[in-house]
């Protein structure tokens, strides 16, 4: 499926591995946690993202990805890209994000938001370093330091970092592939004070064969603590990697366990 931009029917996929369509569908979903149709759609969206990032026009990107019509893509473009296709093509050039950096118990936290909600929560030592990290994530967005009206949202995020077991209702603008969103939703269901292994998380999304992909989705998380990827450990219970450093991961877990 990754090697062609031509849609492949379920029957053709099943025939390629000498299986019935029903049996192939069941085994595919058991291994990856999504249906072949959903997986194919995610691949198409990834191809569109890649083509747009290379500078292709929206029409060229859709054609390259194998879409038969633009309407089918535009109907779900916001979820697939996190913004309109033309904005994505420009690297988010027309998107405006506000951000604030505040001290917290783990150093500093940068909170960035779009009109939809908080789209990035980054942890670090210096405000300047965090600002550079934000720019790298949204290279052409218009970034503006938030005014006093954003203070309540930023304070809620700081409270969540300082007390990760708390239940702060923060509006989030979650951006990722369909698979990443499944993983992140499963992460948000892990109770504070508990942990899961990557294999347990994969099983939770009904994708036991996708442990590496699950780990990759955790590593791609841009919303520290709000999407609690710190609650995932290696199978033996030891700390695994953490985007913002293992010391912060340990500190968050210790806070939650009291």
What is the set of active-site residues? 229
Find the length of the chain: 258
Which two structure tokens, joined as six digits, stand for 96?
């405006």
Alpha helices, H only, the chain: 10-16, 21-32, 36-53, 58-65, 70-74, 77-81, 85-89, 127-137, 151-162, 178-188, 198-204, 211-219, 246-257
List the beta bridge partners of residue 100: 111
Q: Angle at Cα 140 formed by Cα 135 and Cα 141, nearest 5°?
A: 80
Burial of 178 (0-12, 13-18, 19+ CB in 10 A): middle
Helix (H, G, I), strand (E, B) or coil at 79: helix
Instruction: Provide the 3-class DSSP secondary structure of residue 142.
Output: strand
């Amino acid at each position: 499926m990754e090697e062609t931009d031509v849609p492949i029917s379920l029957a053709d996929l099943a025939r390629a591995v000498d299986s019935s369509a029903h049996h192939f569908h069941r085994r595919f979903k058991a291994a990856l946690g999504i249906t072949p149709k959903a997986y194919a759609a995610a691949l198409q969206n990834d191809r569109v993202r890649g083509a747009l990032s290379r500078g292709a026009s929206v029409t060229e990107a859709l054609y390259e990805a194998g879409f038969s019509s633009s309407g089918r893509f535009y109907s779900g473009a916001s979820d697939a890209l996190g913004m309109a296709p033309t904005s994505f093509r420009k690297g988010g050039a027309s998107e405006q994000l506000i951000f604030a950096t505040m001290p917290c118990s783990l150093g500093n936290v940068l909170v960035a938001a779009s009109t939809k909600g908080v789209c990035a929560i980054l942890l670090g030592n210096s405000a300047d370093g965090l600002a550079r990290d934000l720019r790298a994530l949204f290279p052409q967005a218009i970034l503006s330091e938030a005014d006093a009206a954003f203070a309540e949202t930023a304070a809620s995020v700081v409270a969540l970092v300082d007390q990760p077991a708390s239940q702060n209702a923060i509006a989030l603008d979650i951006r990722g592939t369909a698979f990443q969103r499944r993983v992140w939703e499963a992460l948000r269901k892990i109770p504070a004070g508990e942990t899961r292994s990557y294999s347990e998380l994969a099983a939770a999304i009904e994708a036991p064969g996708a442990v590496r992909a699950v780990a990759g989705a955790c590593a791609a998380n841009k919303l520290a603590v709000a999407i609690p990827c710190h609650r995932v450990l290696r199978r033996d219970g030891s700390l695994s990697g953490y985007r913002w450093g293992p010391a912060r991961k340990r500190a968050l877990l210790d806070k939650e366990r009291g």
